Amino acid sequence: MTIEIPGWVKDAVFYQIFPDRFARSEQLPKPTNLEPWYTPPTRFGFKGGDLLGILEHLDYLEDLGINAIYFNPIFQSAANHRYHTYDYWQVDPILGGNAMFQQFLDGAHKRGIRVILDGVFNHASRGLFQFNHIMENGEQSPYFDWFTVKGFPLYAYDERKKANYECWWGMPALPKLNTDNPLVRDFLFNAVEYWTRMGIDGWRLDVPLEIKTPGFWEEFRHRVRAINPEAYILAEIWNEAKPWLQGEHFDAVMNYPFNRAAYGFFGDEALDRSERPGGFRLKRLNARGFARQVDRMLNIYDWDVVLAQYNLLSSHDEPRFLTMVKGDKQRLRLATLFQMTFPGAPSVYYGDEIGLEGGPDPDCRRAFPWDDRHWDHELLADFKRFIALRKTHSALRNGDFATLYARGRAYAFARTDATETVVVAFNMGARPVNLALSLGEMLPEDAIFDRVWSDEKYTVVDGVLALPLPSLAARILVYECPRENSA
């Protein structure tokens, strides 16, 4: 089967926004009893972030260099994270409602910024009308078979008793939808079609593998692509997902294997291995171990799928990368540079670029500090440079990948397309190293590389590029292929 990936994704730099915590507009009326913006986040408290606040800060995002946004859920919900969907047809009023979302979407699109939404279709909220109808009417409810109920009365709010209906991970607040019921599927797909017609650019799908209904995701893809052939369909799958990335289901996954490999190599001795993000035990990696994981990521999928993978360092579901490396910002810089030069679509989790830290949920969901006295401006400048580097060099978005060096704590690779070769090298060791990078017949014998952000030049001699590297540092070199003279 032909794998059709939206062409825009390989050029995308995503920014993940947790809507309750990014920005709060003073122009949008709010309910009372909101948590103060700068206090530590709590599991149940709301900060009151909204879509107008994000719209008011699009200049900031555009200046950062991002051109795509992934929103955590925005639909009406009784939870600050909004994974407890209360109404699939309404944007949460605290965020500004449907009209404000349309205004935001139009404003983002005018700036060339794509927007994908989080879709939670495995489970809903106790407040969903159909579930509430069952609580009110019991077995006589016409919606009885929208869920899998095992007894009455429903123990939806009695914490002393185990929920007597299927729910996500046994959590009573998240009743599992019966997607084997065609009425449930139509209900969900009609909502999906509504938001896709509004103009969104794709979906990030929450726990998709927990929906076991045959044909569910095939029909989802068909309905979405019939409306928007360029819609990006991204799945939350924490492991390798080859059977799901064959052109029938999803375009890509949230690339947590990338995340874990980056922890291991760039975190190294600073990595906090007491944490197990996603339930995975983290390992420190030398260059050879890192190279093996990189090769695995690059070879398990079709190349077009590799170019569409959602490559992340931090997310709302685990401690922030900076916190995981014990606040070492140089390690975050180097990991981000690798992220921006690696095949796939990189994603910045809001606040990473200014040095925001955060431990396990809910601490990884702190409010963005808009008082820039709290920012690391040098780190922000580097994020902008790294994003601009990716956008400037086509080889970093489309080019082939070749590992050049993987010994000790030093790792180097080349990205090559018809116009240029970009060499990227890292030294995560405690001492300087001198790399001898064998380029073979990749380039002319006397090819001269320019070092990015420097006036230095390096010449290939006998097929070898000699490159000195300081400790905990990186070098990026570019060779522009000569253009043939036109007739």
pLDDT at 485: 47
Q: What pLDDT digit, counting tens, does each position of 155-208 carry?
A: 999 989 999 999 999 999 999 999 999 999 999 999 999 999 999 999 999 999
Domain assignment present for residue 164? The answer is no
Cβ atoms of 198 and 105 within 8 Å: the answer is yes
What's the order of all strands across the beta sheet hosting 420-427?
400-407, 410-416, 420-427, 473-480, 448-451, 457-459
pTM: 0.97
Task: Judge whether residue 72 has pLDDT over 60.
Answer: yes
pLDDT at 440: 79
> What distance in Å separates the CA atoms of residue 429 and residue 287, rounded to the nearest whole number?
10
Q: What pLDDT digit, counting tens, does each position of 296-350 carry?
A: 999 999 999 999 999 999 999 999 999 999 999 999 999 999 999 999 999 999 9
Instruction: Name the active-site residue from 92, 201, 206, 268.
Output: 206
Q: What pLDDT digit, counting tens, does each position of 241-287 carry?
A: 999 999 999 999 999 999 999 999 999 999 999 999 999 999 999 99
Domain assignment present for residue 276? The answer is yes
The pLDDT confidence band at residue 443, using thresholds 50, 70 and 90, is: confident
Instruction: Name the active-site residue from 201, 236, 268, 353.
Output: 236
Residues 366 and 435 occupy one common structural domain: no
CB atoms within 10 A of CB 1: 6
Residues 387 and 425 occupy one common structural domain: no
pLDDT at 1: 67
Name the average pLDDT for the chain: 96
Place of tokens 């809910």: 362
Residues 208 and 333 occupy one common structural domain: yes
Per DSSP, the residues of 206-264 read SSGGG---TTHHHHHHHHHHHH-TT-EEEE--SS--GGG-SSSS-SEEB-HHHHHHHII
Domain's final residue, options 349, 364, 392: 392
Domain containing 320 — which CATH number? 3.20.20.80
Residues 16 and 62 occupy one common structural domain: yes
Domain's final residue, options 373, 392, 411: 392
Phi, psi torsion values for 346, nearest 5 degrees: -75, 150
Residues 364 and 416 occupy one common structural domain: no
Domain's final residue, options 348, 371, 392: 392
Residues 418 and 314 occupy one common structural domain: no
Residues 377 and 464 occupy one common structural domain: no
Question: Does the active-site annotation cover 240?
Answer: no
Q: How many domains does the chain have?
A: 2
Domain containing 417 — which CATH number? 2.60.40.1180
276 membership: H or E segment, kind and range? none
Provide the CB-side half-sphere exposure for 288 (13 A, CA): 2
Mean pLDDT, residues 221-229 = 98
The pLDDT confidence band at residue 487, using thresholds 50, 70 and 90, is: very low
Question: Does the active-site annotation cover 382?
Answer: no
| Domain that includes residue 437, residue range | 398-480
Residues 221 and 302 occupy one common structural domain: yes
Q: What pLDDT digit, counting tens, does each position of 393-424 carry?
A: 999 999 999 999 999 999 999 999 999 999 99
48 membership: H or E segment, kind and range? none
Provide the CB-side half-sphere exposure for 96 (13 A, CA): 22
